[in-house]
Structure formats: structure tokens, C-alpha cells
């Protein structure tokens, strides 16, 4: 799983206005830090500020950790504010910031050595979602420990194929002599996943030369990943690890996938769609659908995470509000509450399954299942017959930070442009205009008709394509000064305007 908990949510409105978030900042000397087994770590303190950098006095900072490597003080008085959870290695604690916005954590003692740190997860909630931070504590042995020398690192294999060489290590003593008969565990530790004969881990005993290795298969996701080998040194009383890097490739040998495009459910559900803008493995997606009255509305999908890079992605629906497009005032923008999740299963780059979670019929019963509706998606083909004079303008565009809250999804295929302007109507509700066709007036100017549509609700109702209607409501014109800047001119529903636009970076 590759989390990208999306505080780059600035993407829609510099959408930093989404939440009033705090910062949790470890003070110098607090993290990272090291201690030899038996020693107490130096005091750990964190500074809590709001999104403007102002200190936040007298707010609760909660933190949790689960580790056999560190412990709280044995004196019950030193554990006030902490709760222990089975299997008795998990703790949840709380403390309060002082008048200077500084919170002091409980004292920690190093009890077992390891080359991997103990990570303490901190969270602060200020009027909404939690802001998170971490503190890392390293525990060292008092004596030299064994070493793991990696073998078979930096391999690459197409997804769902076996790596050419087993992943392995050579176990040696502190003075470099091979160590035999020692169990070595291998496990997936991050990034794209692999399997060891069907599982995420395997254990092998080192041979007479200190070698231990195990074959693995690239299981899911595209891009980099990590295998971690670990032993327990019985003399140094330490867990010793080393990481082996690998890469999972697409069938044609790439470490990334191109997902940016306009997606739809085909002609049988013509009238609604999904735009995906992409920067590296970050996605900015917008759903163009209809409300219960058949009016066009849109939802932005944010706070996304890859569970298998370029294969399985989960995000959340937001339905913003803002002022009318012809009299836009960015300070009226409101992202709204976070909605239910939407997941995508991409079959490489050509098709996808979208699963939309609905509201449970028993919202107060946490065990009651929520309905899920799945849609098969494919790329929409809007290629043209003549090459475009300007190539590379596809992506997400907006009016800049001073116009945050609306945008233009401008998708480009060979000889064709398909654009959607997502904005707000006279009632401040989200609405969209579609620009599926046009012509190049010259090397940097593209224009065409502007349409508005009506249709059937898309999710948790049978989509009725016969209700789809499309109306010409005006014209549009893009004037590009380069691949990242331009002007958008419109004549829509009796309103005219011209706005500077730029490529949105997220």
C-alpha cells in the first residue's frame, strides 16, 4: 500500500482552504534520536501550530505506538494519560500543550535493539480532521551486532511474473565471518507488492556460507518496492535488518502508467464521465454526473491513496459550492464535507472498474454494510483525423490561486481536444459545460461550441440514457501563449467573459 494522504488537496482551490489544519513539529533533539538498550531517551517535545503558524496552547496531542523495542516507565505515575491494549505492546497516550503550544510526551526507555526505528504516531484535532506527525526512536545494542549483506537487490520484473534471481542476504558476524543456522525472515516492506510462494513473507535458515535466499513474484502495482530481510542476533540481543529494492514493470517494461484522459461507461451510459489529470502518480479526478432533477453537477475526488500503485486507488467525493461563473468570488468557495469513498481498479491503462460507496440504510449501525455500485470504465475516444498544431496542453487548468474553486479539464488525444469547464451556477451549485469539439483557428487558438447537458442520476439508480439531452449554450475559445498558460474566452447562457488560465500543478 502506498499512502498519499492527499494534503496536496490544494489542487482544486489551492484547496488548502479545505480544512483548518495544524502542524505538529518535533522540537530539536526530539526526533530522530538514539539510545542504547537500558537508557532513557532524551525528553520528547513537539510544537503545535495552526495553519497560519500561530501556536496552539492547551490543545490535546494524542499519540500511539506498538513496539517491543521501547517502553514507558515502569512506575504507574509515569504512565498517567496512557492506556495499554492487547497484546500489551500497544499504547495510546495523551498530553496537553502548554501556554507556548509545546507538548511534552511521556518518557521512553530503550529495551531491545534494532536497526529499524520505533515510530510514534502523533495526532492533533483542531476543529475538524486530525493532523498527524511522527517521532522516531532508534534503539542500539551495547555491543557490535551481526550484519546482513544483500544479494539480488535492484531487480525488475513485469507484474505477475517471477523475479529472475531470488532475494537473499549473507549473514556475517561483526568481524565478517559467515553465520550458519540462523533463521532469516523476508517480507514485503513497502511500495508495489510481491509474494513469496503465495505469501507476503518467508523464512529461510542461513547455510554454511551464511547465505539465505527465497524466490518471489511481482504481485501487484507498478513501480518501486522494498523487501526487508531480518534476523535476531542472540549475542547482541538485536533485530538486524536490511532492505532490498525492486521494481515492478508494466508488461511493456515501464515503471509508470499513463492514466490521464476522459473516461466513460460507454455508449450505453452516454452523458456522464470522469476526467483524470495526472502528475507522476498523483491523480486529480472529477466526476461529471447529474443530480436528482437531471441537472449537471460534479464531484472532485480527493484524499486519495494507492493500495497498489497504478492498479488500485481509493479517493473521497467532495461536492463544493461557489459563486456563479459569470461573477466569481473565490472567497465564497466551500469544498463541503468529505463524502463516501470511490475506488478504482485499473487494468493497466485501458480499462477500469469504479466502485462507489453509498450511504447505509442503517447509518447508526456500524456493522451494517454500505451499498456499493460498480461501473466499468474505458477511455473515451475523441481522436481527430488531423494532427493538432499544439501538442502537450492536456491536463487540469484553472484561473490560478486568485480564482481557486473552479477548473477546466482539458484532455488531448491525437488531433482532438475534449474539455469540461466545472464551475457554479446562479444558485452557487456545481455545474459544468462540455466542449467536445472545435477547430484550430491558428497554431495556438482553438474554439468551438459550448454545450450544457441534462441526464439521469448515475449512482444507485438505473441510468437512463434516453434522458440525456445536450444543448448548445454558447461558444468558447482557448488562446494558448505556451503549454502552461493561456486565456479562456466564453459566451455562455447570455454571459461573456475572458479569463487568464494556467496549468494546475498538484
- 240-279 residue pLDDT tens: 999 999 999 999 999 999 999 999 999 999 999 999 999 9
Q: What is the mean pLDDT of residues 48-53?
A: 84
Q: What percent of the chain has pLDDT over 70?
A: 93
Q: Residue 401's pLDDT band (boundaries 50, 70, 90)?
A: confident
In the prediction, which pLDDT does 8 show?
34
Candidate from 143-147, 368-372, 413-417 with smallest mean pLDDT:
368-372
What are the DSSP calls for 72-120, one per residue? E-SSGGGGTTEEEETTTTEEEEEEE--TTSEEEPPPEEE-SEESSPEEE
Q: Which residues contact 354 (CB under 8 A, 6 or more apart)?
A: 274, 342, 343, 344, 374, 375, 377
CA 151 to CA 10: how far, in whole Å? 42
Q: Residue 389's pLDDT band (boundaries 50, 70, 90)?
A: very high
How many Cα atoms within 13 Å fall on the side-chain side of residue 423? 23
Residue matched to cell numbers 535476531: 232
Mean pLDDT of the chain: 91
In the prediction, which pLDDT does 28 show?
96
For residue 239, CA distances in Å to 91, 117, 143, 316 come to: 21, 11, 13, 39
Q: What percent of the chain has pLDDT over 90?
A: 79
**CATH T-level assignment (fold) for domain 147-249:** Immunoglobulin-like (2.60.40)
Three cell numbers written together for 322 = 461557489
Q: Are 183 and 190 in contact (CB under 8 A)?
A: no
The pairing of strands 407-413 and 416-424 is antiparallel
Residue matched to cell numbers 486529480: 284
H-helix or E-strand spanning residue 473: strand 469-480
Q: Is 317's pLDDT higher than 60? A: yes
CA 71 to CA 376: how far, in whole Å? 50
Of 291 and 53, the structure prediction assigns the larger pLDDT to 291
Q: Are 81 and 106 in contact (CB under 8 A)?
A: yes
**CATH T-level assignment (fold) for domain 10-140:** Immunoglobulin-like (2.60.40)
Residue among 37, 70, 234, 241 nearest 141 (CA) = 37
In the prediction, which pLDDT does 17 show?
36
Q: pTM for this one?
A: 0.80
Where do the structural domains in the chain lie, given as residue ranges?
A: 10-140, 147-249, 261-503
In the prediction, which pLDDT does 53 show?
85
Q: Residue 6's pLDDT band (boundaries 50, 70, 90)?
A: very low
Task: Determine the 3-state secondary structure of 91 from DSSP.
Answer: strand
Q: Is 342's pLDDT higher than 70? A: yes
In the prediction, which pLDDT does 154 show?
95
pLDDT in tens, 422-452: 999 999 999 999 999 999 999 999 999 999 9
Q: What is the mean pLDDT of residues 293-301?
A: 97
10-140 and 147-249: same fold? Answer: yes
Q: Residue 11's pLDDT band (boundaries 50, 70, 90)?
A: very low
CA 195 to CA 227: how far, in whole Å? 10
CA 239 to CA 234: how far, in whole Å? 9
Chain Cα centroid distance, residue 191? 12
Q: What is the mean pLDDT of residues 306-334?
A: 94
Q: What is the mean pLDDT of residues 55-83?
A: 88
Q: Residue 334's pLDDT band (boundaries 50, 70, 90)?
A: very high
In the prediction, which pLDDT does 451 show?
98
In the prediction, which pLDDT does 89 show?
79
Chain Cα centroid distance, residue 418? 26
pLDDT in tens, 152-203: 999 999 999 999 999 999 999 999 999 999 999 999 999 998 998 767 789 9
Q: What is the end-to-end Cα distance of the chain in Å, rounded?
A: 21
In the prediction, which pLDDT does 381 show?
95
Burial environment of residue 22 by CB neighbours within 10 A (0 to 12, 13 to 18, 19 or more): buried
Of 480 and 53, the structure prediction assigns the larger pLDDT to 480
In the prediction, which pLDDT does 9 show?
38
Amino acid at each position: 500500500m502506498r499512502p498519499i494522504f492527499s494534503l496536496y488537496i490544494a489542487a482544486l482551490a489551492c484547496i488548502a482552504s479545505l480544512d483548518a489544519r495544524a502542524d505538529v513539529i518535533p522540537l530539536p533533539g526530539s526526533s530522530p534520536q538514539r539510545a542504547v538498550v537500558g537508557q532513557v531517551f532524551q525528553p520528547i517535545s513537539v510544537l503545535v501550530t495552526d495553519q497560519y503558524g500561530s501556536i496552539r496552547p492547551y490543545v490535546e496531542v494524542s499519540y500511539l505506538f506498538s513496539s517491543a523495542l521501547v517502553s514507558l516507565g515502569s512506575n504507574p505515575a509515569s504512565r498517567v494519560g496512557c492506556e495499554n491494549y492487547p497484546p500489551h505492546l500497544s499504547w495510546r497516550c495523551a498530553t496537553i500543550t502548554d501556554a507556548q503550544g509545546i507538548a511534552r510526551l511521556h518518557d521512553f526507555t530503550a529495551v531491545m535493539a534494532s536497526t529499524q526505528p520505533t515510530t510514534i504516531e502523533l495526532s492533533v484535532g483542531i476543529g475538524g480532521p486530525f493532523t498527524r506527525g511522527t517521532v522516531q526512536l532508534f534503539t542500539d545494542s551495547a555491543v557490535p551486532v551481526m550484519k546482513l549483506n544483500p544479494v539480488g537487490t535492484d531487480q525488475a520484473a513485469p507484474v505477475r511474473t517471477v523475479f529472475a534471481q531470488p532475494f537473499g542476504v549473507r549473514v556475517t558476524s561483526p568481524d565478517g565471518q559467515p553465520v550458519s543456522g540462523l533463521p532469516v525472515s523476508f517480507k514485503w516492506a513497502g511500495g508495489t507488492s510481491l509474494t513469496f510462494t503465495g505469501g507476503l513473507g518467508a523464512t529461510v535458515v542461513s547455510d554454511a556460507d551464511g547465505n539465505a535466499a527465497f524466490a518471489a513474484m511481482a504481485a501487484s502495482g507498478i513501480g518501486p518496492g522494498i523487501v526487508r530481510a531480518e534476523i535476531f542476533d542472540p549475542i547482541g540481543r538485536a533485530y538486524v535488518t536490511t532492505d532490498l529494492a525492486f521494481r515492478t514493470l508494466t508488461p511493456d517494461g515501464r515503471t509508470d502508467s499513463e492514466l490521464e484522459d476522459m473516461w466513460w461507461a460507454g455508449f450505453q451510459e452516454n452523458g456522464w464521465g470522469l476526467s483524470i489529470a495526472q502528475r507522476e502518480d498523483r491523480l486529480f479526478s472529477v466526476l461529471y454526473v447529474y443530480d436528482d432533477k437531471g441537472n449537471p453537477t460534479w464531484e472532485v475526488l480527493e484524499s486519495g491513496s494507492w493500495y497498489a500503485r497504478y492498479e488500485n486507488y481509493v479517493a473521497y467525493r467532495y461536492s463544493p459550492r461557489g459563486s456563479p461563473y459569470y461573477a466569481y468570488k473565490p472567497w465564497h468557495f466551500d469544498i463541503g464535507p468529505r463524502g463516501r469513498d470511490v475506488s478504482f481498479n485499473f487494468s493497466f491503462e485501458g480499462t477500469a472498474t469504479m466502485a462507489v460507496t453509498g450511504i447505509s440504510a442503517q447509518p447508526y449501525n456500524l456493522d451494517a454494510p454500505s451499498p456499493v455500485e460498480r461501473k466499468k470504465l474505458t477511455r473515451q475516444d475523441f481522436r481527430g483525423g488531423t494532427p493538432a498544431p499544439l501538442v502537450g496542453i492536456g491536463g487540469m487548468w484553472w484561473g490560478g490561486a486568485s480564482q481557486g474553486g473552479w477548473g477546466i479539464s482539458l484532455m488531448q488525444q491525437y488531433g482532438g481536444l475534449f474539455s469540461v469547464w466545472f464551475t457554479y451556477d446562479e444558485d452557487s451549485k456545481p455545474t459544468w459545460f462540455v466542449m467536445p469539439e472545435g477547430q484550430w483557428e491558428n497554431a495556438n487558438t482553438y474554439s468551438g461550441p459550448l454545450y450544457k447537458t441534462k441526464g439521469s442520476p448515475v449512482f444507485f439508480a438505473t441510468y437512463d440514457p434516453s434522458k440525456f439531452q445536450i444543448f448548445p449554450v454558447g461558444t468558447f475559445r482557448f488562446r494558448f501563449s505556451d503549454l502552461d498558460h493561456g486565456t479562456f474566452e466564453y459566451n455562455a447562457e447570455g454571459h461573456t467573459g475572458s479569463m487568464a488560465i494556467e496549468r494546475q500543478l498538484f
